[in-house]
Amino acid sequence: MAAPRRDTRGIVDAAGLFARVDFRRREPAEPLRLHLEHYWLIDYDLTQPYASHLVPHPSVNIVFQRLSGQKPFAEVAGIGLELFTQKLEGSGRVCGIQFRPGGFRPFFPDRPVSAWTGRRVPLPRADTAAVLDPDDEDARVAALDAFLLGLGPRPDPQADLAMALADRIRTDRTIRRVGDFARAEGMSVRLLQRLFAAYVGVGPKWVVLRYRIHEALERAETDRDVDWARLAADLGYADQAHLVRDFTATVGVPPTAYATQRVR
């Protein structure tokens, strides 16, 4: 498996977030890398409140949090369908586990991943102290490894298939229509949709659209002079207007306005 990603895809105002919090990604233990994207660690000590925003990935997360004025807690965060906002104030620590799309169910095999979608479910038996208390970052990573390995993930060929298909959507820009993708994989559209509901948590069309918005958001974050018509064509949109509509509905502002606000 490759090292943790270094992109900012999905993070709204990445520069603003990174200026206020200490954000890192860490690699899990080797036996876990098939199923995980990475761990993500955040520490902060703010003089002024800050609202972070995220366009969620098609990934389930398990999140351990110690927020100002609250008891530490852990939860499963199913795939978020809307823009996610978290208000940060005072000091805090967050340690997250981001699963690969399709990689969560081997750890929690009793229900389809779609049952977690749009939900945040407490994990009351998780040892939050082991994860959140150490100041040593390596100790926190080791605690996350121990937590996951203790769940005893089960081999599941269907999970492997779902992860491979979702990764293909992320990396192959030519995948634009679910029907064409299903045929290329020797599957019916209905079978592909059922696989994604059971193992990813959202449908393949949603995954295609979400990765388009992530790429557009990252471009808007770094380049004020994006050729939006060309990018829309590259991403498989029928025209620029469709990209603008999806971006605005997801992020809350049109891409040109976002790019003007972020790139200085």
Q: For 71-103, what is each residue's pLDDT tens digit?
A: 999 999 999 999 999 999 999 999 999 999 999
Torsion sign across C-alpha atoms 97, 98, 100, 106: positive
| Last-in-domain residue among 126, 151, 176 | 151
The C-alpha atoms of residue 89 and residue 67 are separated, in whole angstroms, by 8
Torsion sign across C-alpha atoms 174, 179, 180, 182: positive
pLDDT at site 264: 46
Distance of CA 156 to the CA centre of its chain: 22
* Shared domain check, 163 and 146: no
Distance of CA 184 to the CA centre of its chain: 26
| Last-in-domain residue among 135, 151, 167 | 151
* Shared domain check, 218 and 115: no
CA nearest to 82, candidates 121, 122, 119, 118: 118
In a domain? residue 6? no
- Tell whether the model's pLDDT for residue 261 goes beyond 80: no
pTM: 0.92
Cβ contact 242:209 at 8 Å: no
The C-alpha atoms of residue 151 and residue 188 are separated, in whole angstroms, by 33
CA nearest to 36, candidates 151, 129, 174, 183: 151
pLDDT tens profile 158-204: 999 999 999 999 999 889 899 999 999 999 999 999 999 999 999 99
The C-alpha atoms of residue 73 and residue 252 are separated, in whole angstroms, by 30
* Shared domain check, 124 and 61: yes
| Last-in-domain residue among 151, 168, 198 | 151
* Shared domain check, 161 and 145: no
CA nearest to 73, candidates 131, 128, 136, 117: 128
- Tell whether the model's pLDDT for residue 52 goes beyond 90: yes
In a domain? residue 252? yes
pLDDT at site 154: 86
Cβ contact 217:12 at 8 Å: yes
- Mean pLDDT over 208-235 rounds to 88
CA nearest to 235, candidates 172, 189, 183: 172
Q: What is the CATH number of the domain that holds 67?
A: 2.60.40
Q: What are phi and psi of 84, to 5 degrees?
A: -100, 130
Domain range enclosing 229: 157-262
Q: Which single residue is written with the structure tokens 């479910």?
A: 121
pLDDT at site 262: 61
- Mean pLDDT over 60-70 rounds to 93
Tally of domains in the chain = 2
* Shared domain check, 255 and 177: yes
* Shared domain check, 89 and 36: yes
* Shared domain check, 116 and 142: yes
Q: What is the CATH number of the domain that holds 249?
A: 1.10.10.60
